[in-house]
Amino acid sequence: MQLFIDSQWRDGEEKQTLHDCYDGQAYGEIPVASDKQIDAAVAGVRRGFQENKLTPIKRAEILFKAAEILESRRDSLQVQLRHEVGFPDVDSINEINRCARTLALSAEEAKRVLGELVPIQATPGPTPRFGYTVRVPKGVVCAITPFNSPLNTVAHKIAPALAGGNAVIVKPSEVAPGSTLALVQALLDAGLPPALISVVHGPGETVGQQLLEDPRIDYYTFTGSTAVGKKVRDAAGIRGTQLELGSIASTIICADADLEKAAKKLISGCFRKAGQVCTSVQRLYVHRDVYQKFKETFLPLVESTPWGSPEKSETVVGPMINLDNAKRVHSWIEEAVNAGASLLCGGRRHHNVVEPTVLEFVPTDARLFSQEVFGPVVSLVEYDDLEAAIDSANATPYGLAVGVFTNSLDLPFHLADRLDFGGIHINETSSSRLDVMPFGGVKDSGYGKEGPHYAIRDMTDEKLITIAY
């Protein structure tokens, strides 16, 4: 694995060893970018942006071709995802499919990066005038990406940036860089001019900070913690930013819900990627009238969900990203039980695998309830009053996504008005997402939108042209 700087693959003086997510064995290493290499990487894409003006159709062709190439390398990508982030087949296949889809959606959008006509004649003026807007690229986009979606989230940042005519510098997660490098190689093999992209590796505290302080970068797109997101915002100043940050995601089961349908969808909504998804269901509010029946439906499904080695084809819940995080989640479970919570299933840790876990009666001040768990754990909350459940779901610093299950026709409109989240999904879990959707939160969950159409709009500037005649 290497850096990609100024159109060339390069090594670095300092190396970082990469360890398999499940068994901890070393499987490779990456170079950590030096200050000079970071400077050269930014200079390279700045120059590349100025010298390489691709037409919209050319951008689309490259992105479509990259999607095809990526899919043709599915087997090697699955192995890479298994090593890096412990994805079992069900997660790695989904990650690859969605990444290819995001590239294709961005290709479609590249052909229609449009402005609009301005109705100038709707206001009085001294002379007749005609007006319209066009969208132009911002310049250099910096993408700082997380470990938990090292292909598709990266694609949601790189592909719209390129579709909008920008150059890109990427700093992938230091624990999951290989998938990003595979995506960049697919883009290069598809015909992307090498000068339009750079990749640098290393810790956020050093490499990321230097990128934030570089005035030659025009826009930052970041996925990660709220604490780091605020640093990105502050460093970027008036330059553009898109921030997808923390979350405590909820799903509400109403008394009239289809419990079997909800329970089946919640297995993925709670436990895919070992719960290391910002929209994973952490709080599950269930109406008292159906609470017991829901438990009788849901718990057997959880207990029969296979967990363990990502090399086993049947595994659904694999390891967490490292042992420290597995220990943290397990300690939060024990803390909640010691404070009065009831453990309904799971709750055990096997090295860095935490069993899919369900609890009830979790105290509201327990970290398992009041902080983002980012693990395969869900807390059941019995409620009588829907408005109280809504208030409880709203009462966090975050507002990324929420799910509701109901067969009512009018209730969804009330919920859409009352729930304070960036995404509200009726008869789906909070973890529901299609890559064509706008995706982003409110409050401490950040601002700006992913989703190719919406991200391109954020990564381009609108320019007004008027003509008097």
List residues with catalytic annotation: 244, 278
C-alpha angle with apex 135: 137 to 154, nearest 5 degrees? 45
Give yes or no for a contact between 139 and 218, defined as CB atoms under 8 angstroms apart: yes
The CA–CA distances, whole Å, from 150 to 125, 180, 298, 320 equal 53, 6, 30, 14
What are the tokens at 428? 């789906």
Length of the chain equals: 469
Give yes or no for a contact between 136 and 461, defined as CB atoms under 8 angstroms apart: yes
Backbone angles phi, psi at 456, to 5 degrees: -60, -40
Give yes or no for a contact between 245 and 220, defined as CB atoms under 8 angstroms apart: no
- Helix runs in 140-177, H state only: 152-163
Give yes or no for a contact between 49 and 140, defined as CB atoms under 8 angstroms apart: yes
Q: List, as one string, the DSSP characters of 391-414.
A: HHHH-SSEESEEEEE---SSHHHH
Residue 255: Cβ within 10 Å count:
16
Closest C-alpha to 455, from 127, 141, 49: 141
Closest C-alpha to 221, from 154, 167, 165: 154
Give yes or no for a contact between 17 and 10, defined as CB atoms under 8 angstroms apart: no
CA–CA dist 67, 96 (Å, integer): 10
- Quote the radius of gyration of the chain (alpha carbons, Å): 23
CA–CA dist 82, 92 (Å, integer): 7
Q: List, as one string, the DSSP characters of 318-379.
A: ---SSHHHHHHHHHHHHHHHHTT-EEEE---EETTEE--EEEES--TTSHHHHS---SSEEE
